[in-house]
Amino acid sequence: MLRLPPEAHGLGMTSQRARDRLIERLATPRPEDRRKPITDRRVLDVMRRLPRHMFIEDALASRAYEDDALPIGRAQTISQPWVVARMTEALIEHAMPKKVLEIGTGSGYQAALLAALVGQVYTIERIDELLRNARRRFRKLGIENIRSKNVDGKLGWAEHAPYDAIMVTAAGEALPAELFDQLAPTGVLVAPVGKPGAQKLLRYRLIEKESGAMWVGESLGDVSFVPLLSGLD
C-alpha cells in the first residue's frame, strides 16, 4: 500500500494530470510509436498513482512523465515507462506471482510498481549508492513488502528461492543459469537479452517437450538496456 507524502502529488509537470496523459499514451500509443498498447488495467492503475518524479533527481522531475528513459547516476537509467509497463504486464499475464525477484534495483521504481501488485518483492543491486537511494524512497512511500540486498545480480538471491517470477532489468548476451535454478517450475522470467543494439525482451516459461522440460524464451520485441555486469560497486 502506497503512503503518499505531500510531494508525491506533484505540481505542473509532475501533477496527476501529467500522469494521466502518460497513462493515456501507454494505453493508446500514437501510430508513429509503432508499439503494442499496454492493456492490463492493474499495471496502468498503479502507474497512474506511483510518483515517478520521486525516483529521479529534482533537476529532471519535469520530465518524469514523459515516455523516456532518464539518467539516475552511475551510468544507469530509470527505464522508459512503456518498457516498465510492458515487462510488468508480461510478468503477470498468465498468473499473479506471490514472490518476485528483481535483478537490478536501480532507482527502485520497478520494484515499487511490483510491490503494489504482488505479495513480496526481493530486489538486488550491485551499486550500493543506488540501493541506498532506492531504500529511502521505499521508506518514504511506506512500502513494506520489498526486501533488498547489495549483491552481484548474476548470482540471484538463492536464500529466498524458489520465486514465482524473476525480472531482470539489465541486458546480457545470455542469462546466468543460477537465475533459472531459483525459478519455480511454474514460474516466468522476463529479461532483455542480446548485444547492445540487438537486444530482445524475452519471456521464459518451462515447456514440456519430447526430450524433456526446457526453458523457452518468447520474444516480446526490441529493447535497449544497460549491460548486466558482475561484481559490486
**pLDDT given for residue 126 in this prediction:** 96
Assess if residue 150 is contained within a domain: yes
What would the mean pLDDT of 90-112 be, rounded to a whole number? Answer: 97
Tell me the three state secondary structure of residue 112: helix
Determine the Cα–Cα distance for residues 82 and 68; give it in Å rounded to an integer: 8
Assess if residue 230 is contained within a domain: no
Percentage with pLDDT > 90 across the chain? 85
CATH at 204: 3.40.50.150
Q: How many domains does the chain have?
A: 1
Check: CB of residue 221 under 8 Å from CB of residue 35: yes
The residues assigned a catalytic role are: 79
Check: CB of residue 109 under 8 Å from CB of residue 35: no
Assess if residue 20 is contained within a domain: yes
Element (H, E) at 91: helix 81-92
Angle between helix 81-92 and helix 16-27 axes, rounded to 10 deg: 60
Find the domain containing 206 and state its range: 6-223
Kindly report, residue by residue over 7-66, the tens digit of the pLDDT.
Answer: 888 888 899 999 999 999 999 988 877 789 999 999 999 999 999 999 999 999 999 999
Assess if residue 232 is contained within a domain: no
- pLDDT of residue 76 exceeding 80, the answer is yes
Assess if residue 233 is contained within a domain: no
Determine the Cα–Cα distance for residues 12 and 34; give it in Å rounded to an integer: 29
Assess if residue 231 is contained within a domain: no
Assess if residue 59 is contained within a domain: yes
Kindly report, residue by residue over 157-207, the tens digit of the pLDDT.
Answer: 999 999 999 999 999 999 999 999 999 999 999 999 999 889 999 999 999
Determine the Cα–Cα distance for residues 74 and 55; give it in Å rounded to an integer: 15
